[in-house]
Structure 1
Amino acid sequence: MSPTVVAAAADSTSPLLPADDSPPPPPTRDSPPPIIHGSSFTLRGVLVGLAVGTIICFSNMYFGLQTGWVSTMSMPASLMGFGIFRLLRSHLGDLPFSPVENVLVQTVAGSMAIMPLGCGFVGVLPAMNYLLKPEEQGPIQLGLPALVVWSLGLCYFGVVFAVPLRRQVLIRERLRFPTGFSTAVLISVLHGKGKETGGDGGKDPDGFASLAARPDEPDVVVDEDDEGITEPETKHAESWRQNVRLLLLCFFVSGLFTFATYFVPVLRNLPVFGSAAATTWLWTLNPSLAYVGQGIIMGPATTLHMLLGAVVGWGVLSPLAKSKGWAPGPVGDWENGSKGWIVWTSLAIMLADAIVSLGYLAFRSARQYAPQLRSFLGLQRSHHHHGPSGSLLHRQQHAGYTAINGDADGDLNPLQDELEEEKLADDAPPDQQIPSRLVSIGLILSILFCIACIHFVFGDLVPLYATVTAVLMALVLSIMGVRALGETDLNPVSGISKLAQLFFALIVPQSNKSSVLINLVAGAVSEAGALQAGDMMQDLKTGHLLGAAPKAQFWGQVIGATVGAVASAFIYQLYTSVYQVPGDLFQVPTGYVWIFTARLVTGKGLPPMAKEWALGAAVLFAATTALRTRTVGTRWHSLIPGGIAVAVGMYNVPSFTLARTLGGLFGWWWRNVKGWRDTPLIVLASGFILGEGFLSIVNLIMQSAGVPHLE
């Protein structure tokens, strides 16, 4: 299960995004290329990226096991990398820290950051390790070597597969990739190439949260025509020192609170609605500053949709199921209580959202790539010479028509050819490109390596045909994920994994005792491919705007993924060996979502009346999702509940959702009431998140040493 990845309303007044869904304007001949200073690939950049990525990786594992939420933290990684090099500038000699080197730092750090989710440590593996029943070939107990092999098997093919998509989505189509663009803006400001606005605060465009969870754009304005961020009129108006101080202050305050919760665990569950509501119905508040920070990043629309899910699930459906006898056990019991009963409604909402939204994306992707496919298959008609007939105006009008509808004879208009050549000329120099031979060999080897690793870990429990099909399906679904990410900053990896689970329920016989396990593995492979391809493309967008070498970013991503996969296996083993999983701290709700989805689609049965309520919810949210796809960019978009956000509010206990809602409302107040700049807000949120994530290591050490709680 992925983190919350929901799009809310777009704001056409954002200084960073176009006002509509049209692609950015084509570059002009007078636009200067990006100014490149320094090397795109350095050993020191890799090492700093790995150090920053390790901190974020620990944080993501901690929060992922609690709620399923992870973030690449691209902007904080850039800021921390810049701060580290500024502190060490007296030791750098004649080679200063350059923008393209900062791109490398955040690329390496981001590739490490997504490994807890990309390798299934926050959802799939807990489901296999703790929730599979004996009749389902479980539980599967994997030692550290098997965990390392599993994670390495999943960490490469998505990265390699993203490379062939780069020229299409970044150069030809010029998709936005808002997080990648925002990170490039921040780096340009840090290195003295940006100019901040007059403090009107901007507005929150979209309020995304992703598995990839997007920080809101910094409040800066730059000259950007999508071929590079050029020198502005004034330089370096924003002080990086203020942002670093704010990050460290929030880190310290959040870490101090986290340290206090070890000795006083009740701080994590405050009975804000009375003791009866807390003990019986689980309505408590976890005042974690990290969850407040997550709510700031998600935005008010997403967090309010999550609150709606919590109110419906825990305030209406849970008491109803309890009173009707559909869930006779304690409310907090996943098997017989209403906590487990409402998950089925949550799953139905997620499946409906996935089918509708990804079906829409599949249609758009097929239409977009149809001309290239026809050309590849040799189905395009040869170009006909029409002679000099027709005026220049007529030819220009015809060019405008064919740019939208295609030439009636299947030809490419000469003006389109010229524009296409201009776009391709805007790409990086050939010596900085990733060689096609490397991509071809790398893709084949990474696929074979993934298949071999899965077979090594699970043996005959997962048949070869299932693994091969899962990898090939992951590649197809990755295209939809990359396109969605480029257009909306939403990588729908949760929906992609659920579609893969649904598909494998159709091709794997239900009589197979390993059908649930196979279903989990297939979903994990699809989620890994889409997540890593999307993360790679966001980083390539940042590098494209700042003039970094794609080849350097590719190797940085590979290095970060390798170290992150191994580190995630160690961190997962560390946490699960010290803490009870599932338990009070690590409830692994996404593990239950994974296992319940596998049982649902493989026909393992539902509790009383769950089917009827699930079907009703699926129909309702299929309609709302269809409406959301038709209202993107309008003021009504954020008012339509997002299926994934509502579902997350249902399967997470209210204590997490209430804290995130407070964060979302605080972010709205910061921007719209006070009118303050966005960049410090994102720094503040990141400090809160990283502070708790890092200090959780101290709590882990105290827990393993048997330090007593003050209860």
Structure 2
Amino acid sequence: MPITAKLPNDMPWDAKAALPQVTFRSTVAGLLIGSIILVSNFQFGLQTGWVSMMSLPSALLGFSIFRSLQSRLHCQFTDVENVFVQSVSVAVATGPLAYGFVGIIPAIEKLMTDSESGYESGIDLQPLWKLTVWALGLAFFGVFFAVPLRRQFIIKEKLPFPSGSATATLISVFHGTTINVESKPALAVQPAPQEQLEPVLEPTTTPNNVTIVESQDLCQLQQLETYQTNIKLLISTASVSSVYTIFGYFVPQIKSIPILGSNLSKSYMINFQPSPSYIGQGMIMGFATTAYMMVGMVLGWCVLSPLAQKMGWAPGPVDDWKDGAEGWIMWISLAIMISDSIVSFVVIVFKSLYSLYYSDSSSSSETPTDPNFADEIERLIDENEPPSDEDVSNSTYHGGNSADNVKISAPPSLVASDLTDRSTYVDLDESHQVSTTVTVVGLIVSSLACVVCTKIVFGPVIPLYAIVTAIVLSLFLSVLGVRALGETDLNPVSGIGKLSQLIFALIIPKSQPGAILINLISGAISEAATQQAGDLMQDLKTGYLLGASPKAQFVAQIYGSLFSVVLSAIMYKLYNTIYEIPNQMFKIPTAIIWIDCARLVNGSGLPPRVFEFAVVLGILFAIISFAKNTISPESKWHKYLIYLPSGVPVGIGIYNIPSFTLARFVGGLLSYVWLQKMALGNSDARVRLIIFSSGLVLGEGLFSVMNMILTSLNVPHL
């Protein structure tokens, strides 16, 4: 039996996998919740490139649905069924990013020239069937590949996957059950009164760099009655955000308030958009990330943009992507983000491989009674704590959520018994596992499906060897991405995508017809595999802590992905039918980053003086990234790293127009004030902030569908 913090009337951990999980009711609930979040992700993904897994709100909404129907249920809604609901929801919600509908597809369809596509008349992606076939080709090979990684990363290495652990803790609190404590490294328990075992948690971050999604905050919840307050708060904030969304349609002027005067508004697009959802996103991102975005906004729009315009480097209107300052500073943004992403990715991979080698060496050399073994593992975990910024293109829950590693005090005997016995690994019965046959056959079939679907959609310009190479490369890169996610709560899909683009620039000759298209497709395949593998592994961590069946979670991922393939294609088609994209509302910044990177690595010319600025700022932020990822928390210089802006959020602040960044900065500032004044030592206050911000995001995202209907009916603005 695993070591668990046992509560009265709680079912044994290894018996819960046999409970009903793959049910019609849980599937419908998961698809419904995931659809709501997918709509929200499309809205904000096309606007800012920001997409979120929303695993915590999914778990809360799943619980709230069945709690309200409790009297009508023929059997109890359990914690493991709640895991299934949120797993389906996450698989649906992340479709816009995984299938490239907020990045790769608009880059190909909207920004790529006919000559770059390799066809005289360009690529036609208008038919819905093509969008569906493309998404179907990307939907599953990353899922099947993630299955065998579970035993290595979750069972043997016990990687923390902080956001997955936080979701498991929230579900366990709502259902009054316990989690499998043995599955976390350096994790044990301290005896509490009444002979029950209850985790005692120690925060691992400083107050100045805290984000609102923290495992230790959720672990401190004591009573299920907090659910009532949280669900009311979620509904209230979503309602306020929904009202703003409809009001903003009829009074669009509210979306561009010239807070610094009409002259700066017209000349440099410096406006404020008081969007509740943008403010909610800022709360989720945290103060540090939004402050770095603000640095990027000031650098790009208040310094570089006027300079480029005055010097004649960008003579066109400021919002002209080709000749204006907005297009000029985009290259600077790209250089900063690429340098930051690649440096942090390389450092994380090196540290992860070093940690793996060191821990393997230690396991063979240390004796089970050596008390320094547990201390060394804790040190290695602390050295890989999450960076202060998030990769917004994947801000997953993963993406979007950041959770800190959990450090739990315990008697030395319990720590030693948990960490030093590495000859046996506690896992569920084989009957609850996905079989090797299913995994191998599924991986082969899904990889072949990717090849066939890509050829069907993009034709003979994409050579067969390029697709096969991209799939093989994506599988290797997804291993690194999953390890980074497990250790740091950051899945570096953006950096992996850019790395794949750089590799393919070396493989595919620049003279090859459609070299730009091939480069984009390779990046899309790598991004999809890493995204899916990371999502499933994080969900599997949640399930393992609660005793859910891995086979049921695998089914949840398949169900959610199949549904998301169709819904994502339909939503993208709807947005393109109703809106002219890109436009002032949907600037598709991620698509611009993809296409510009493809052009850059294939030797495309740059606007005047961009190269010099890109090199200098790229080197500067590469140095900053190296420092932030290598300086140990024990160093006297570590506390000053917070004042060094990270490249990814700075780049995002440059390529997004100021109205997006200003609203997010307000949200980050509000979360900072709340955490400093109200929530220190108060877990309920912190969780309320999570729910508050999630409601703001979901309300506007959901009611964006209403705006689409009004637009399609040509309802006039006021």
Aligned to 2:343: 356
Aligned mates of 1:217, 1:366 — CA distance in 2: 25
Deviations 1:101-143 (A, max 9, x none): 0000000000111100110000111111111112212742211
| DSSP 3-state at the match of 2:491 | coil
Mapped contact 2:516–2:602 kept (Cα < 8 A): yes
1:369 to partner: Cα distance: 5.8
1:707 to partner: Cα distance: 0.5
TM-score (norm 2): 0.84
Q: Identity of aligned pairs, percent?
A: 45
Aligned to 1:77: 58
Aligned to 2:116: 136
Q: For 1:323, give the aligned amino acid.
A: K
| DSSP 3-state at the match of 1:80 | helix
Aligned to 1:56: 37
Aligned mates of 1:655, 1:314 — CA distance in 2: 11
Matched, 1:297 2:284: yes
Aligned to 1:612: 612
1:28 to partner: Cα distance: 5.4
Give 2:98's match in structure 1, choosing from 118, 137, 141.
118
Aligned to 2:172: 188
Deviations 1:58-88 (A, max 9, x none): 1101110111111011011111111111121
Mapped contact 2:91–2:564 kept (Cα < 8 A): yes
Aligned mates of 1:512, 1:588 — CA distance in 2: 27
Deviations 1:504-560 (A, max 9, x none): 111111112301111111111111111111111110111111110111001101110
Aligned mates of 1:696, 1:203 — CA distance in 2: 37
Matched, 1:250 2:237: yes
Aligned to 2:665: 661
1:366 to partner: Cα distance: 3.9
- 1:478–1:347 CA distance, 2 compared to 1 (3 A): same
Aligned to 2:655: 651
Mapped contact 1:207–1:302 kept (Cα < 8 A): no
Aligned mates of 1:402, 1:419 — CA distance in 2: 15
Aligned to 2:191: none
Mapped contact 1:49–1:81 kept (Cα < 8 A): yes
Q: For 2:247, give the aligned amino acid.
A: A
Deviations 1:308-339 (A, max 9, x none): 11111111111111111111111111111110
Give 2:71's match in structure 1, choosing from 87, 90, 95.
90
| DSSP 3-state at the match of 1:419 | coil
Aligned to 1:34: 13
Mapped contact 1:104–1:553 kept (Cα < 8 A): yes
| DSSP 3-state at the match of 2:606 | coil
1:219 to partner: Cα distance: 2.7
Mapped contact 2:140–2:558 kept (Cα < 8 A): yes
Map 1:623-634 → 2, pairs under 5 A: 623-631=623-631, 633=633, 634=638
| DSSP 3-state at the match of 1:606 | coil
Aligned mates of 1:275, 1:161 — CA distance in 2: 54
Bigger shift: residues 353-362 or 239-248: 353-362
Aligned to 1:6: none
Map 1:391-540 → 2, pairs under 5 A: 419-422=421-424, 424-425=425-426, 427-540=427-540
Deviations 1:394-414 (A, max 9, x none): 89569959999xxxxxxxxxx
Aligned to 1:9: none
Mapped contact 1:197–1:220 kept (Cα < 8 A): no
Aligned mates of 2:200, 2:610 — CA distance in 1: 52
Aligned mates of 2:166, 2:208 — CA distance in 1: 12
Map 1:140-219 → 2, pairs under 5 A: 140-142=123-125, 143-193=127-177, 215-217=213-215, 219=217
Aligned to 2:396: none
Matched, 1:264 2:251: yes
- 1:708–1:549 CA distance, 2 compared to 1 (3 A): same
Aligned mates of 1:586, 1:621 — CA distance in 2: 28
Aligned to 2:385: none
- 1:523–1:397 CA distance, 2 compared to 1 (3 A): same
1:674 to partner: Cα distance: 2.1
Aligned mates of 1:304, 1:485 — CA distance in 2: 23
- 1:632–1:581 CA distance, 2 compared to 1 (3 A): farther
Deviations 1:143-172 (A, max 9, x none): 100100000111111111111111121122
Mapped contact 1:181–1:542 kept (Cα < 8 A): yes
| DSSP 3-state at the match of 2:147 | helix
Aligned mates of 1:658, 1:61 — CA distance in 2: 21
Aligned mates of 2:367, 2:210 — CA distance in 1: 44
Mapped contact 1:136–1:513 kept (Cα < 8 A): yes
What RMSD in Å do the two structures reach over aligned CA positions?
3.1
Mapped contact 2:174–2:224 kept (Cα < 8 A): no
Deviations 1:238-277 (A, max 9, x none): 4211111111111110000000111111111111111111
Aligned to 1:692: 700
Aligned mates of 1:170, 1:691 — CA distance in 2: 35
Aligned residues: 641
Aligned to 1:641: 645
Q: For 2:326, give the aligned amino acid.
A: K
- 1:372–1:474 CA distance, 2 compared to 1 (3 A): farther
Mapped contact 2:481–2:492 kept (Cα < 8 A): yes
| DSSP 3-state at the match of 1:636 | helix
Deviations 1:440-497 (A, max 9, x none): 1111111111111111111111111111111111111111111111111111111111
Mapped contact 1:477–1:530 kept (Cα < 8 A): yes
Q: For 2:44, give the aligned amino acid.
A: F
Bigger shift: residues 333-342 or 632-641: 632-641
Unaligned runs of 5+ in 2: 179-197, 378-416
Aligned to 1:285: 272
Aligned mates of 2:199, 2:371 — CA distance in 1: 42
Q: For 2:240, give the aligned amino acid.
A: V
Aligned mates of 2:367, 2:457 — CA distance in 1: 64
1:220 to partner: Cα distance: 3.4
Q: For 2:123, give the aligned amino acid.
A: I
Aligned mates of 1:154, 1:394 — CA distance in 2: 46
Aligned mates of 1:28, 1:698 — CA distance in 2: 50
Aligned to 2:27: 46
- 1:295–1:36 CA distance, 2 compared to 1 (3 A): farther
| DSSP 3-state at the match of 2:421 | helix
Aligned mates of 1:689, 1:186 — CA distance in 2: 20
1:635 to partner: Cα distance: 3.1
- 1:31–1:702 CA distance, 2 compared to 1 (3 A): closer
| DSSP 3-state at the match of 2:707 | helix
Aligned to 2:602: 602
Aligned mates of 1:358, 1:639 — CA distance in 2: 21
- 1:31–1:508 CA distance, 2 compared to 1 (3 A): same
Mapped contact 2:349–2:484 kept (Cα < 8 A): no
1:35 to partner: Cα distance: 7.0
Mapped contact 1:330–1:337 kept (Cα < 8 A): yes
Aligned mates of 2:35, 2:430 — CA distance in 1: 33
Aligned mates of 2:429, 2:580 — CA distance in 1: 53
Aligned mates of 2:376, 2:310 — CA distance in 1: 61
Aligned to 1:585: 585
Aligned mates of 1:258, 1:433 — CA distance in 2: 45
Aligned to 1:220: 218
- 1:471–1:204 CA distance, 2 compared to 1 (3 A): farther
Mapped contact 2:368–2:420 kept (Cα < 8 A): no
Aligned mates of 2:688, 2:418 — CA distance in 1: 43
Mapped contact 1:207–1:298 kept (Cα < 8 A): no
Mapped contact 2:352–2:484 kept (Cα < 8 A): no
Aligned mates of 1:257, 1:397 — CA distance in 2: 60
1:355 to partner: Cα distance: 2.1
